[in-house]
Amino acid sequence: MKTVFVNPSKIERKWHVIDAEGKTVGKVATKAAELLRGKHKPCFTPHQEVGDYVIVVNAEKVQLTGRKAENKLYYRHSGYPGALRVENFAKMIRRKPQFPLEHAVRGMLPKNRLGRKLFKNLHVYAGGAHPHAAQKPEPIEL
């Protein structure tokens, strides 16, 4: 049996839209990462970009289970001594509504240049509107 390699110019790439309202961060991020990577396609190849484009709307209305809204922490450091900043999910969703979903999806993609390229195919919007209507995205149910 021969391994089939698809020519990148012949890959059919679709647009999908996921409504994150009332859904948990992990469920939305898992589905988005699967679509971005292309694992749902029979022509999936780990080292090629065969995935689709993903639009996530209503990112500000995403939820966490249990008490994670207060307990889940996001860290950032500027590189200077004593410059570690910590913010919980509740504050982060108010300040940057799309960051928790982007952070979760980025963690599920490969940690190399392919992962950085795939991440550019993700579009997260805080509200329900998006400017990609011309691409005719298909809604995805979770």
The answer to the question of residue 102 being in a domain is yes
Pairing of strands 138-140, 15-19: parallel
The answer to the question of residue 4 being in a domain is no
The answer to the question of residue 57 being in a domain is yes
Edge to edge, what strands does the sheet with 138-140 contain?
122-124, 53-57, 15-19, 138-140
| CATH number of the domain residue 30 falls in | 3.90.1180.10
Considering its fold, how many domains does the chain have in total? Answer: 1
Residue of 46, 47, 38, 33 lying closest to 11 (CA atoms): 38
The answer to the question of residue 123 being in a domain is yes
The answer to the question of residue 109 being in a domain is yes
The answer to the question of residue 35 being in a domain is yes
The answer to the question of residue 54 being in a domain is yes
At residue 2, the pLDDT reads 77
Give me Rg for the CA atoms of the chain. 17
Residues spanned by the domain of 32:
14-64+96-140
Structure tokens at 90: 């509740």
Residue by residue, pLDDT tens for the chain (142 residues) are: 777 778 888 899 999 999 999 999 999 999 999 999 999 998 898 999 999 999 999 999 999 999 999 999 999 999 999 999 999 999 999 999 999 999 999 999 999 999 999 999 999 999 999 999 999 999 999 8
Which residues face 15 on adjacent strands?
A: 53
At residue 52, the pLDDT reads 97
pTM of the model: 0.93
Would you say how long the chain is, in residues? 142
Residue of 126, 96, 119, 97 lying closest to 35 (CA atoms): 119
At residue 5, the pLDDT reads 79
Residue 80, CA atoms < 13 Å, CB-side half-sphere: 3
The answer to the question of residue 79 being in a domain is no
